[in-house]
A and B are shown apart, each in its own frame.
Chain A
Amino acid sequence: MARTQSSLREANRSRVVDAVKKYGSLTQVELAGATGLSAATVSTIVKELVASEVVEVRNTVRSGRRAQLVTLSHRVGLVAGVVVGYRTMRVALADVAHEVLAEQTLPLPADHRSDTSLDRAALLVVDLLERVGSTLDDLLGIGLGIPAPVHPTTGMISVRGVLRGWDSVQIAQVLEKRLARPVFVDNDANLGALAESTMGVGRPWRDMVYVSVSHGVGAGIVIGGTVHRGVDGTAGEIGHVQVDPAGRICLCGSRGCLNTVVGLPALLEPLQTSHGNLSLRDVVRLAGDDDPGCREIVADAGERVGAVIAALATGLGPQGVVVGGELAETGETFLAPLRAALERRTVLNQAGGPEVVPAALGLRAELVGAVALALQHTDVFERPDRTDEEMAGR
């Protein structure tokens, strides 16, 4: 009996914590609604959680009445992760334990401009801070990922033309000016690699490759447990490896890059006659629904990407290849041909070859990586004054 009592209390505690995590901040009344627990039970559990410093409670006003706002404890501070893609922006707020407190996705127009998008990124960060009951004062730093190679010293895009409207923009400075907080910029695939190697499926590996396949292809390389960016940040830009010497001219200016063959326009074009206008999401959904045309397109892309990864893996000898991005959401439809292309290379095959696995963090890998990047650059123990203040406030 006592045993069931305590396990019930444990289950209720985790229900409360899960609800607070899901919504960022809730009043105790809302918490009762969200968990289905009684107000008295919620009140007791919240008191316990405050004592064990899992959550914080502050006074607020809801519909004219005083209420107790419950948030996860973030005494030390928060970091933001922002990943700007071709058609979506993802923003997350996390505490120093990498625990994501709030997250928001914003669909973006094609060829979005750097000024509009960075402005919206800044507003989203502030909105999310508000959602978890914090202000900019609590923010320690921002990690920002973009789908283009970033020069490690200048922080600007190192290859002109690949991300229209973002060339020659001091990306970090633009955002720093808005938020008055340090901003760290990196390539999105590098962030995916960072996340998967520290928190995802690549944890046991010292050397690995993360491949992201969505609107374009990119890879992040991890050597000896750290992300290898190359002298000008272009390491892993497999989207610009030549696969068709007679092919089309790529946005970067070269001919027949992998992106001209498996980039989104190239994937959708052959489906135009049979399927009409599709989006990337449609192709992924239809491939999952066993649509033969879409499966064919996805499988062929897997093979083309696999051939380039095979060359990269022959040069690097990684223990594993982690595949992320939208196309990886189709599972084995994409992964099996990619894996087969690797196995076809005798050198890789006889040495055992790298394991090919989907990203454990899925589409969130790069966002988790952006948070990790911000945390890497932030010394969280350097602000003892803040904790003192909070202690005094209690």
Chain B
Amino acid sequence: MRPPAPHRTPLLALHEVSKYFGAVEALVGVDLEVHSHEVVALVGDNGAGKSTLAQIVAGVLSPDAGQIEIAGKPVTISSPSAANELGVASVFQDLAVCENLDVTANVFLGREQRNRFGLMHDGAMEVETRRLLERLTVRIPSVRTTLRQLSAGQRQAVAIARTLIGDPRIVVLDEPTAALSVAQTGEVLTHIQRLRDLGLGVILISHNLNDVRAVADRIEVLRHGRNNGSFRATASHESILAAITGAA
């Protein structure tokens, strides 16, 4: 049905990945491929293994079995910082932003640029932050605004902008539109399209099939920790829903 272009090596490929928590089979022999300029959505019911898979890609969890390849080379993603070095950046549901810090500080949190005296390079970081926000077409009045003053959508945008530090190739977004207003959802979905246009591979995890079908190129359904169907973005709502619930 869907012949992937044969000459392209996927940015990220997971083969037969499994993960067990005691007797719980979180993931059983799951395959996943993400290409450049591609948004792959992971959908499934609660406990289907979406977040577990995302955490494996982000280096938070390590798989019990299976292989991970990045740009065709087998890798082990042992920690989140290892994931960063391999070009994988992630935004999880809790965002992990600091409300009392400003936009620049949040974008560079833990990766602050320092000058030769070991002092923080505030000017350069502000310039870089503005550049990142511009690239994503994020509308935030000032990079010196503290996060507390921003809307939920703007915070999500800051979290997404932060992933672009260090020029990643793959971005993992876990439920980026949960609890956002329609306008804010529109902003975040537009940012996701921008990431795709910049040539990144995006893994999008969401419950909302409307949002997923709006921006994803491919929709991978997980059910009880197993692959349960792969759909084009043009596939009908009903057919995807059937794969999620197991009605198909």
A residues lining the B interface (CB < 8 Å): 19, 22-23, 26, 30-31, 33-34, 62-63, 87, 89, 104-112, 116, 120, 123-124, 127-128, 131, 272, 274-277, 279, 281-282, 285
Contacts and interface: CB of A to CB of B under 8 A. Distances in A.
A19 B148 contact: no
B231 to A, nearest CB: 11
A63 B100 CA distance: 11
Interface in B227-245: 232-234, 236-237
Interface in B197-245: 197, 209-210, 212-215, 217-218, 232-234, 236-237
A274 B215 CA distance: 23
Given A30-B142, A109-B214, A281 B197 contact: yes
A282 B141 CA distance: 30
A288 to B, nearest CB: 11
B144 A107 contact: no
A105 B148 CA distance: 25
Contacts of B183: 104, 106, 123-124, 127-128, 131
A105 B141 contact: no
Nearest to B187: A104
A386 to B, nearest CB: 26
Nearest to A282: B37
A277 B214 contact: no
Residue among B8, B139, B215, B218 with the highest chain A CB neighbour number at 10 A: B139
Interface residues of B, number: 40
B247 interface: no
A358 to B, nearest CB: 21
Contacts of A285: 197
A275 B214 contact: no
Nearest to A22: B139
Nearest to B186: A106
Given A276-B5, A285-B197, A63 B149 contact: yes
Given A106-B185, A106-B189, A33 B141 contact: yes
A116 B210 contact: yes
13 contacts: A26-B141, A30-B141, A89-B186, A106-B185, A106-B189, A109-B233, A110-B233, A111-B237, A127-B183, A131-B183, A276-B3, A276-B4, A277-B4
Contacts of A106: 182-183, 185-186, 189-190, 214
B202 to A, nearest CB: 13
A366 B80 CA distance: 45
Contacts of A274: 5
Contacts of B139: 22-23
B217 A277 contact: yes
A117 to B, nearest CB: 9
Contacts of B232: 277
Nearest to B193: A107
A105 B217 contact: no
> Which of A105, A116, A131, A285 has the most chain B CB atoms closer than 10 A to its own CB?
A105
Contact of B193 (A30, A104, A281): A281
Given A275-B5, A277-B4, 12 more contacts: A19-B141, A23-B139, A33-B143, A63-B148, A104-B187, A107-B186, A107-B189, A109-B210, A111-B234, A116-B210, A276-B4, A277-B217
